[in-house]
Structures are given as structure tokens and as C-alpha cells.
Amino acid sequence: MKRLLQHWVVVLFVLLAVYPLLPVAEATRGEQFTHLFIYAILAQGLNIVLGLTGLLHLGIAAFFAIGAYTVGILTVSHFPFQQSFAVAAVAAVVMAALAGVLTTAPILRLRGDYLALVTLGLGLIVLYAIRNLDPITDGTKGLGPIDAGPLPGFSGRNLESWRLKSDWGRNWYNYPYFYYLSLTALGAVMLLVRNLEHSRLGRAWVALREDELAATCMGLNPARLKLAAIAVGGGVAGLAGALYAMALRHTGNPQAYDFTLSMLMICCVILGGMGNRNGVLLGTFLLIGFDRILTSILDNEIQAWVGSAAPYLKLSGYRLLIFGLVLILMMRFRPEGLLPARRIQRELHPEYDEAVGRAAAQAELAETAATAAESPAPLPLHASNAPASDTQHSFR
Amino acid sequence: MEGWLAPTELAGGFLQFLILGLVIGSLYALIALGYTMVYGIIELINFAHGDLFMLGAFFALGLAIWPMGVTTAEAPLPALVATVALMLLLTPLFCAIVNVSVDRVVYRPLRNSPKLTVIVSAIGVSFIFMNIGLLWRGATPVKFPDLISDANLLEGTGLRFTWKDLMVVAVTVPTMIALTLFVRYTRLGKAMRATAQNPVAAQLMGINVNRVIAVTFAIGGALAGVASVIYGLYIKAVDYQMGFQNGLYAFTAAVLGGVGNIPGAVLGGLTIGVVGELAKAYLGAKWSEAVIFGILIVVLLFRPTGLLGARTREKV
């Protein structure tokens, strides 16, 4: 238990879990956090596809949208389905995973950049379909209100006995319920990714990312592995979409599922560290947290401080500029991300391994010299893994 | 569906949409060339290219407003000609300078990095360009001066081909021919092709690879500049998000034709233009985008390297 609490991710989860119980908790802030968790789930989905398997997928928002609209269609009152959330969420995951497999299977033989472009096109086609298929998706208005019970046969309207604090309201759609639902889902997805990384499948994905040719020669089946990655990643993204529609109680403006979202998610994954789930979590919290939460706070602070609400004083007017600069500077000086996956860091910083190798060689030399002199000098205990001064230790 | 047209009308309509599609398509082709040339040389999907095109349009708009003061077609003819000429001269220059500077500052230090690193940087540049556009002209579409007459040149034939359409063709076609000749017959063009084929070997042969890449970015930027002027004059409205949509079409055109292939980009651009216009006419405007990307996917399924792309092995 003590060792578990030493990891910052666990500490973060514990802190987030107690937040709604604290007296400082606010409904708006809680809703913002809920969205943060949802985007973090989406980023983990992309991390499976991009970070672990190395497929540059530019249309992850499509799976998010499919998840959200599946929930919408299965729960809103003007369709005959009227399912509960649990059923709708499972359906959303299945639909998104299925969509991933069906759209990726025909394009598997495309390589690199062509694959990237086709996935971009797929993302846009899904967006246009949502916008144009009015009878199913209500076009630009979006589907809503989503107003179903959490479980089959459980209306969940009256949660009097479940309330821990008086301001939580008596309906399940007051923020704490979705807050905990999303946080739990995020924790579950993180555990899933962790277990996947260490599984046979996850190791095969990483092998594929590192060198497809070599992986194939080792007897791996790239097509099947890629499909598995897109199915799992798409499913996770679909789960995020389902939670998004539930927390918003509406599928919202289709604009929310456009290319910008896919790009933003790629930024989160890259900023945090491709292939490192904790890094991706950190990247999402930093980037989305900055975009959705911090900017509005800072804007208010700046306005209160300067005493004017001129548009050029608003930080939100510079958000793309800031994103762009962060991306460019990261790529220039720390392309492996804030918390890099070990393999990717080594790939991008070959001097690290060289330095380690050199240190090992020197240690061996010293040892030989010591043996030759028959002196009882102690062996250099740490020489073999002495890091060079200009590199960072990676940790996962 | 806008109702079935009578056979004669349908034929005329089809021809009309074909003309319109070819005109729009040559515009896409011009932007696509910038993508395809940069991709051909450093294998970078330059996501910032469309936004450079947007900045070019804003710059041209600025030129019309400030030094020339010509914002309507009612101005005297010499002033109109001078304005358009100045736009066509300075906007490509501006875009070329911006593009080369970006290459120097952002992409060049990443020359030996993995592809993804450079692509992400390009996305970053695209974000910055968009934000600059937003700060420059605001979030709402801005009217671009309507300087070219809308008079029909094919009066009486039942078809419509205006001075504007003529202008698009008159600028884009010679530009593309000049580019093809440049790449095929000049020393620098040869150096570009050599670098595209194998940068290391080109360097060993004494080619200054970084300079060749800079020239490529300059030419690509200049083409985007030309396209932005034409676009502004043709569509008559610009906004900070126009780069994304048109850049996407142009990039689709480049990939459709076989990315890295100059005639391919032209063919791809024309295809996209015609398909888009026909889809708009027969399926409704809201489906044209989906049809374009659908065609892209179908073509790539059967020819994974595009219409004219060589079946090369991926560079390892």
C-alpha cells in the first residue's frame, strides 16, 4: 500500500476522488474535471493506436463521435430503444470497435502517410455523415436530451440515499455521479492499458511499432495486430464518447468531433510521451486542463487585474498560438514527450545508450587493470549503469 | 435531389459543372503542387501549407486595401490591373519568405528526426498560422475585393464561363507549365529531383541539399501565394479557417494523384474539382465533401500509391 501511494498517478487519482467531498468543490469545476477525465480516456485510446502500435491515426474523433451518437440513439426519447446507460455504453464500445475494424481492414495495405490521410478522410466522412443524416442524428442540433437510468430497470431519478453531500442534488445527472463514473472509467482504462502493455498482444504491438519488417519476420501477423489495436483503441475512444454524451446529457454540436479534436488528442499523446500511459495522462491533463480550465481562470484574473475586457487581453484568443509553440518546442528539444516511454527515448537519443556503453567499457577496463595489478580494490559497483550527465533517467 | 432535368438541359448542365469543376480543380492543383513538392523532397505532410495559403489571402487583401485603395470593380481599369498585378507579385513573395523561414527555423533542425516529429511540428506551425490569421482579421469571414468582372464570355451558348473563370485558368495553367519545365529542364530542377530520389547520394554529388529544400519550400509557398490571390478574387470572401478546408482538398488532390508526383497533383486537383462540383450538382452541396474523401479512399484501395504514383518501396 505504501509503495502504491508513492506513485504520483495513484496519488493524483486519490486526490481527484476526494475532490467532490471537499468543501471547496464547485459544480462547474467538477464538470470541467469530468470532461478532463473523458478526454484522458480518449487519449488513452489513441495511445494504444499511435503510441503502442505506431499507426498515425488522424481520425480518432470519429470513434468518439460514434460512441456518443450510439448512446444518443439508444437513449433519447424519440427513438424506440430507450435503453439504460450501461447497455448504451457497452453498445457504444462495441460499435466504435466494430467501426474501427471495418474501416481499417480495407486500408491495411496502405503505408505510413497514406494510411494517415485515409484515416483523416474517414474521420471527416463520419463527421459529415453525422451532420447530414438529419433523421438519425438531428444534424447540427445534436441528439438530446439524454435522460435514461444508469442500469436496466433502474430509473435512478431519486438518489436521496446515495447523496454524500447536500449540494449533490437528487438526480443522477448532477455532476458527482458522472464525475465518479468518468474517474472510475479512466482508472479502469489505465489498468487495461497497463495490463495490455505487458501482455503478449501489447509486446507484439510495440515490436510492430519498432520495426514492422523485423516483427513480421519473427512470425507476427501485422494485419491482425493492427486490427486488434484499432479495435481496442477505437473501443476505448467509443467509451469516452459514450461518457461525453452522458455527462453532457446531449451529443452536442457535431463540431466537437471534428479534425481539431483528433489533432488535439495527438498533441496530448505526443506532449505526454507516446506509448507511456502515465505520460499520456499527464499530457492530457496539462493540455486540455490548460485549454478548458486554466484559460478561463487566467482570463478572469487578467481582466480583474488590468480592469478591462479587451479581446486581445484574453488568453483564449492565443490558445492555438500557445499549442503550436508548445508542439514545436517539444519536437525540437524533447521529442520523446514529458514522460517518455523507454524505448522511444532511446530511439530519439542514441547518445544515451552510447554513453552507457562507454561507461560499461571503462568500468570493464578499470576492472581488468585492477585485476592485473592484483590489488584488492573494490569493484566499481555502479559503473555499469552510470548515466551520462546530459541525459535523463526514464521512468514508467 | 434537385429534380430530374430534361436531357438537353442535363447535357448542358453536365458540361457546365465540368467547366466549373475544372476551374476550381486547377485552383486545388496549384495548392496541391506545394504539398507534393515538399513531400517529394523531405517526405513531410506539410499541414501548415493550407494555412500559409490563408495568410497569403489575408496579405493580398491587405495589399488591396492599403497601398492600392482599390476595393471594387468600379475603379478605373489601370488601377484594377495594377492591383491584381501587385497582388500576384507580392503575395507569392510573402508566402515564399514565410515558408522558407519556417523551414529554416522549425523543420531544418529536425532533418534527421523521425517523420512523426516533423509532422507534429508542421501541425504546430499550422496552429500558429491559424492563430495569426485569427488575430489579424478576426473570426468572421472578411469580404475580399471583387475586382474581376462577372460578365459571361460564352453568352448565347447556354454555358457560363466568366472573366473570373478565365483568370483562374490564365494564371494556374501557365504557372503549372512553368513549374513542370523548371523541374524538368533547369539545373536546380535536376538537383531537386536528385534530392527527392536520394538525399544522401545527392549530397555526395555536391548538391547543397538544404538549399534545394529551401528552394522547394520557396516555390511551394509562392504557388500557395498565387493560389490565395486567385481564390480571394474568385470566391470573394476569406476567413482564418479557409486554409484548413482547402488545404485538405489540395492535400487529397496530391495524394490522389500520387504524392510527390507533379503531373499527379494536377490530375488529382482537377479530379477533385470535377468530382466535387458534380457531387454538389447531383447529390447536394452537403455531400460533396464526403464524396471527395470517399473517392480518395476508393482510389487508394485499388492504387495504394495514387493515380500516377510510382510503385516504389517505402524508404527504410
Q: How far is CA A297 from the centre of its chain?
A: 24
State whether residue A332 sits within 8 Å of chain B by CB.
yes
C-alpha cell at A121: 478522410
The answer to whether B45 contacts A117, with C-beta atoms less than 8 Å apart, is: yes
Whole-angstrom distance, CA of residue A108 vs CA of residue A115 = 8
A245-264 in b/e burial notation, b at 16+ Cβ within 10 A?
Answer: bbbbebbbebebbbbbbbbb
Query: Stretch A145-160: mean pLDDT, rounded?
Result: 69
Query: Stretch A216-245: mean pLDDT, rounded?
Result: 95
Predicted pLDDT of residue B256: 87
3-state secondary structure of A158: coil
Cβ contacts below 8 Å, chain A against chain B, sum to 126
Residues of A in contact with B301 (CB under 8 A): 106-107
Predicted pLDDT of residue B2: 41
The answer for residues whose C-beta is within 8 angstroms of residue A284's C-beta and 6 or more apart is A36, A39, A40, A43, A268, A272
The answer to whether A347 contacts B114, with C-beta atoms less than 8 Å apart, is: yes
**Minimal CA separation from A263 to chain B, in Å:** 8
Residues of A in contact with B113 (CB under 8 A): 331, 335, 348
pLDDT tens digits along B156-186: 777 888 888 999 999 988 988 999 899 889 9
Least CB–CB distance from A324: residue in B131, B287, B314:
B131
Predicted pLDDT of residue B80: 87
Contact A266, B116 (CB under 8 A): no
pLDDT tens digits along A242-289: 999 988 888 988 888 988 899 889 989 988 988 899 999 999 999 999
Contact A43, A271 (CB under 8 A): no
C-alpha cell at B306: 495514387
Least CB–CB distance from A321: residue in B118, B131, B294:
B131
**Minimal CA separation from A363 to chain B, in Å:** 32
Q: What is the ipTM of this complex?
A: 0.87
B14-302: CATH topology is ABC transporter involved in vitamin B12 uptake, BtuC (1.10.3470)
Sign of CA dihedral B221, B222, B228, B234: negative
- Residue A66's nearest CA partner among A100, A105, A40, A32 is A100
In terms of CA atoms, which chain B residue is nearest residue A319? B131
**Minimal CA separation from B187 to chain A, in Å:** 30
In terms of CA atoms, which chain A residue is nearest residue B244? A259
- The model carries a pTM of 0.85
Residues of A in contact with B45 (CB under 8 A): 113, 116-117
Q: How many angstroms separate the first and last alpha carbons of chain B?
A: 49
Predicted pLDDT of residue A1: 61
Give the 3-state secondary structure of chain B. Answer: CCCCCCHHHHHHHHHHHHHHHHHHHHHHHHHHHHHHHHHHHHCCCCCCHHHHHHHHHHHHHHHHHHHHCCCCCCCCHHHHHHHHHHHHHHHHHHHHHHHHHHHHHHHHHHCCCCHHHHHHHHHHHHHHHHHHHHHHHCCCCEECCCCCCCCECCCCCCCCCEHHHHHHHHHHHHHHHHHHHHHHHCHHHHHHHHHHHCHHHHHHCCCCHHHHHHHHHHHHHHHHHHHHHHHHHHHCEECCCHHHHHHHHHHHHHHHHCCCCHHHHHHHHHHHHHHHHHHHHHHCHHHHHHHHHHHHHHHHHHCCCCCCCCCCCCCC
The answer to whether A120 contacts B248, with C-beta atoms less than 8 Å apart, is: yes
Q: Which of B293, B295, B298, B305 to mutate to test the interface with A (most CBs of A within 10 A)?
A: B293
Residues of B in contact with A323 (CB under 8 A): 124, 127
C-alpha cell at B97: 519568405
Residues of B in contact with A124 (CB under 8 A): 248, 289-290, 293
